[in-house]
Homo-oligomer: A and B are copies of this chain.
Amino acid sequence: MLKEVLLGVLTGAVALTIGILLGHFAIDKGSSVPDWVRDASRDVDESIIEKFLAELDTNQLRENLRELTKVPHMATTPGDEATVDFMLKRWQDPNTGLDSAWRENYKVYLSFPNKTSPNKVSVGKTGYLFTAREREKVYKPDQEDPEVVQPYAAYSPAGNVKGKLVYANQGKMSDYELLNRTLDLTGTIAITRYGGEGRSKKFRSLTRSSWYTSFIALNAINAAKFGIVGVLVYTEPYDMNDGLVSESETYPHSWYLPPSGVERGSYNIDFGDLLTPYLAAKDDTYRIPKEDITGIPPIPAQPIGFEDAERLICELDGDDAPNEWQGSLNCTYKLGGPGFKSTSTFNNSNVHLDIYNTERLEYSANVMGIIRGSVEPDRYVIYGNHRDSWVHGAIDPSSGTAVMLEITRVLGKMVKEGKWRPRRSIIFGSWGAEEFGLIGSAEYTEEYFSKLSERTVAYINVDISVFANATLRASASPAAQSVIFTASKQVKAPGTTTTVYENWKQYSNRTSPNYGIIPNVGFLTGAGSDYAAFMHYLGITSMDISYFYDRSKTRARIYPAYHTAYDTFDYASTYIDPGFTSHQAVARTAGNVLLRLADSLLLPFNCSDYAESLDQYLGQAVTAFEEKLAAKGISMEPLKKAVQLFRDTAAKLDRLIRDSDLAKETPLKVRQMNDQLMLLDRAFLDPLAFPEQYGFRHVIWASRSSSVPTFPGLADAVEKAESTGLKEDWDQAHKHISIVTQAIAGAAHTLDDVI
C-alpha cells in the first residue's frame, strides 16, 4: 500500500501545484484589476506614429490643394461657402472622417470694395492723365475669374480725396517726420511702400513683434497726424522681387511678382471682430458704434502694383529721397514737390483717391471637427488654420489647409478602422475671416473661453505651410520646443539625406545654455496668424509651423505672390513646392507633434526650456535697462529673484518627473503633473497688464513696440519714460516690473510642490 499511498500523494502534490498555478495565472480576478488601469498608464505608441508618418501622401496633398483653390474664396463669399462644404464632406466621410464635424457661424464686421463702383487711383481731373489698374493682368485663367476681388485696403474708409503726391518710404512716424522738416504735408497724398516693422503677417522671424498689418494701419494713422489726406501703398520690387521688375522675369516665368500684382490686406490693428471686442459676435451681441472703432485708417488708403507706382514715383519733383528710401524702380526716388516735376505730363496735377469700400455684417463660418479622447476626453489638443483667402490663396492659407486635411484623412482612417483613438481629444478648427483680422479664431476663443482655458493642452497652427523648400521654421511657447525637436528628428528633410531637425539647425540656430547649438525656435510675440487668440488671449501653449526659405538666396520679405491674384495652384505647384514634399514634411512634423501631445502619458512640455527663455529676456532687460532704472530708484532685484525662483521650481518639477515611474503611478499623480505643464502658460496671463491692447494678456509674449527683445510691458514703458522723462512714466516702468515679477513668481508657484 505504500506505493499506492506515495503515488496518491505524488499525484496530489502535482495536481495541487498545477492547481495553484492555474488559479493564480489562468483565472482572471475579474473586477479587481479594472481595464482602465492599463489604459490610464499607456504612453504614446511609436508604431502608430511610424504608420501615420508613412501614410501622409504627396498626391493627396496636391489634390487637396487643387480642390481648395479652384475658385477665389474670400471670407463669406460663395467660394468660401464651397470650401465649408468641402471641409465638412471630408470630415464627415464615413471612412476617413472625424468623430463629428459641424459649422459655427459668427456675424462679423467686414469691409469690401464696391463691385459697381470700383476704387480708383488717378492723376488729373477725371483721371485722363493716368488711372491705376483696377485688376491685375491676366496670365492664366485664374486671374480671369470674376470673383477675383479688386485690390483694396480692408477697413480703409470710403472717400474722395485729392492732393499733391509725396513719397513717404514706409509710412513710419520717423518717415513722415523727416518729410515734414522740409515739406508742408497738409492736404497731400502719400505714396508708401509695404514693409518696415511688422511688415507682413507671415514673416515673423525677421520682423519685430507686432500685429501683422499694424504697420500698414499705422501708416495711414501716422499720415493723418500730418494732415495727409490719403495714402497709397505699393509693393517695392527691391523688397519683394530681389530687384526684378520686368514681366519676362516675373510670374509666370518665375515666382516673382508681376508688375501689376497688388498686395491686398486688412488695415486694422486689433484682431477679432471689431464691433464686439471680448464678446463672441452672435446675432444679438452688443456691438459698439462704428465711430468707436479704433486702430483703423482715418483717411482713405489703397494698395497698388509697382507698375503703377513707378508711373507716380518717377514723375515726382523735389529733393532726392534718402539712400535707404531708394528702390528698384527705374528712376531716382524723389520726395515730391509736393507733386510732380515741371517736365512731367502730370505737372501741377493732383492725385485722386476715390475709395468706395463698404462695411457689412456677414456670417462667417468656422468648420470644427473632433476626435474624442479615450482616457482624458476633457483634455484638448487643438490644431487649426484659417480657410479664407484674399483670392485663390493657394499658399495663404490653402497650403496649410491641404496639410490639415491630409492629417485628418490619415487619423480619421485609423479611428474609423478601430486601430487607434487618442488618449486626449483632438479638435480641428478651420477658421473663417482670418484675413480680416483673425476673426473666426478670436470669436471661437471668446465664445468658449472657460471651457478652452480649463482644458486645452496646446494649439498648433499651420497657416501657410510652405513658404519655400529650404527648412523648417517654428515659433512657439518655449514649453513646446522639445516636442517640436522630437518630432522633427523623426522626419526626413526633402531633398536632403538628413532629418528636418538637422537641416533646420543648419539654416537657423542658436546656442542654448542647456543644450548647445540647437535650431532656433522663434517666440510667438506677434499676432501674425490664428495662434494669437490662443497664445495671447487664452494663454494656451501654442506653436506655428511651416517650411521656409533659404534667406541667403532671396531678400523677398515673403513669397512674392502673397495676397495677390497670382497665389494660385499653378504658382504653388510650379514654383513653391512642385513635388509637395515640403507640404509632406510639414504634415509629418506638425502631425507628429499633434500625436505626441494627444497620446503621451506625460505631456511633452519642458518647463526648464521656459526658464531658459525667461533668463534670456531677463539678461536683455538687465543689459538695456538696469542702470537707467536704478537712476530712478527702481530696482530689478525682485524680477531677478522671480526668474531664479522659476528656474528652481522648473528644475524641481523636472526632477520629480525624471524620478517618477509614471506607468506605475496613480493616474491622478500623472494628471497632476500634466495639469502643471498644461497650465504653465496660463499662469502668465494678466488681463489688466495691457488694458489698451485687445487680446494681449500674456505678460511675456505680448506685442511690443520697443526694439529690445525682452518683457514687452517693461520694454515699452522704459522706452516711453526715456522719451518723456516724466515721473509718471517711470512709475509705469516700475509697475511693469511688478506685473511681470508677480506673473513669473506666480507661474513658479504652480511648478513647485503642489502643496
Q: Which residues of A contact B (CB under 8 A)?
A: 4, 7-9, 11-25, 27, 29, 31-34, 36-37, 39-40, 276, 278-280, 282-286, 289, 370, 372-373, 375-378, 380, 425, 427, 446-451, 454-455, 635, 637-638, 664-668, 671-672, 675-676, 679, 682-683, 686-688, 691, 731, 734-735, 737-739, 742, 745-747, 749-750, 754-755
CA distance A33 to B635 in the complex (A): 56
Partner of A755, one of B27, B373, B450: B373
Q: What 9 A-B pairs have minimum CB-CB distances, sorted nearest first?
A: A19-B19, A23-B23, A450-B683, A12-B15, A23-B24, A36-B666, A378-B754, A20-B23, A15-B16
Contact A40 B755 (CB under 8 A): no
Chain B residues, Cβ within 8 Å of A676: 378
With a CB–CB cut-off of 8 A, which chain B residues contact A380?
755
B278 touches A688 (CB 8 A): yes
What are 30 of the A-B contact pairs (CB < 8 Å)? A4-B4, A4-B7, A4-B8, A8-B11, A13-B15, A15-B19, A16-B18, A16-B19, A17-B19, A19-B20, A22-B23, A29-B29, A34-B37, A37-B37, A278-B686, A278-B688, A282-B638, A283-B638, A284-B635, A285-B638, A373-B755, A375-B666, A375-B668, A377-B755, A378-B676, A447-B742, A450-B682, A454-B679, A666-B667, A667-B668
The prevalent SS among residues of A at the interface is helix
Q: Are B286 and A731 in contact (CB under 8 A)?
A: yes
- Which one of B24, B285, B688 contacts A27 once the chains associate, using CB atoms below 8 Å? B24
Q: Give every chain B residue within 8 A of A749 (Cβ-Cβ).
A: 448, 450-451
Most B-side CB within 10 Å, residue of A20, A637, A747:
A20
Most B Cβ at <10 Å: residue of A21, A668, A691: A668
Contact B755 A378 (CB under 8 A): yes
Contact of B40 with A668 in the complex, beta carbons under 8 Å: yes
**Tally of this chain's copies:** 2
Q: Do A668 and B666 touch across chains, with their CB atoms under 8 A apart? A: no
Residue numbers in B under 8 Å from A370 (CB-CB): 755
Most chain B beta-carbon contacts within 10 A, residue among A16, A289, A637, A737: A16
**How far, in angstroms, from A466 to B682 measured CA to CA in the complex?**
40
The answer to whether A735 and B19 have CB atoms under 8 Å apart is no
Assembly CA distance A17 to B451 (angstroms): 56
B284 lies within 8 A of A746 (CB) = no
What residues on B are CB-neighbors of A750 within 8 Å? 450-451, 454
Query: When the two chains form the complex, which single residue of B24, B31, B279 contacts A739, counting CB atoms closer than 8 Å?
Result: B279
| Residues on B with beta carbons closer than 8 Å to the beta carbon of A683 | 450-451
- Min CB–CB distance A597 → chain B (angstroms): 15
Say whether A754 contacts B377, CB under 8 Å.
yes
